[in-house]
Amino acid sequence: MIRTLAKKEDYRSRKTQKIIKFMLFFVFSVFINLPVHAQRAPIDIYLIIDGSASFATVKNEVTAWISGRLDQILTDGDRVTVWSAGTQSKVIYTGKIEGAPGKEAVKKSISDLAPAGNRPDFSGALRDAASRQNSSYSYTLLISASPAALTSVLLSPQANLLRFSRIEEFPDWRALVVGLNLDEKVKKSATAFFSQ
């Protein structure tokens, strides 16, 4: 009897470990394996930029970093939306990438951003981005320059939108790659994987 219970518990433990490994693999592959300069289907790309006064001190550094990042990930056909997360979040650019002029238009919208106010509205921008997703995958990049800016998101109903995130820290700002709407995809993929 004890041996049978131990076997059942061992089976459950191994199954739980498999599920956790699969979920981590899935999330990791979504964040890390975004094709760079590869032929892929167009995706939705969302850029949420801190529009508060804190952004002014790091604007040049962030703009240069984002420009390099966009050159790596954007391909023709991608649909890009850029938010300025100021006191209230607002869309400052939306369009489809059609060659170099499309990339330059996105970069210009970021360099023209005029920071103001004390608190960035990341919650509003994340909520809007999550509701806009048209393709099966999206890439969401959130830039925060305010030390306490993410606290308001973590205390809001939109905290679950940051559940699958990867943070890259810089001296005076941070970049978050946010996996929007991944909950259902992870659950479906895990169910399909374990029902085989």
pLDDT of res. 35:
43
CB atoms within 10 A of CB 73: 16
Distance CA 139, CA 170 (A): 20
- Positive or negative, the Cα torsion across 146, 111, 84, 140? negative
Looking at the chain, how many residues does it have? 196
Mean pLDDT, all residues of the chain: 78
For residue 13, what pLDDT band results from cuts at 50, 70 and 90? low
Q: Token digits for 41?
A: 């289907």
What is the arithmetic mean of pLDDT over 20-43?
57
Average pLDDT over residues 46-65: 93
Q: Contacts for 170-173 with beta carbons within 8 Å, 24 or more apart?
A: 170/58, 170/61, 170/65, 172/57, 172/58, 172/61, 172/145, 173/50, 173/55, 173/58, 173/61, 173/62, 173/143, 173/144, 173/145
pLDDT at 135 > cutoff 60: yes
CATH architecture of structural domain 30-186? 3-Layer(aba) Sandwich (3.40)
pLDDT surpasses 50 at 10: yes
Banded pLDDT at 178 (limits 50, 70, 90): confident
C-alpha 3/C-alpha 121 separation (Å) is 56
More confident residue, 124 or 162: 124
User: Which contacts (CB < 8 Å, 24+ apart) does range 26-29 have?
Assistant: 26/185, 26/186, 26/189, 26/190, 27/164, 27/179, 27/182, 27/186
28 Cβ contact partners less than 8 Å away, ≥ 6 residues apart? none
More confident residue, 32 or 189: 189
For the chain, percent of residues with pLDDT exceeding 70: 61
Average pLDDT (167-191) is: 73
User: What residue segments make up the domains of the chain, in order of their start?
Assistant: 30-186
Q: What is the pLDDT of residues 117-128, one digit of tens each?
A: 888 888 888 889
Q: What are the tens digits of pLDDT across the range 82-113?
A: 999 988 999 999 999 998 999 999 999 999 99
- Compute how many other C-beta atoms are within 10 angstroms of the C-beta atom of residue 76: 11
pLDDT computed for residue 36 by the predictor: 46
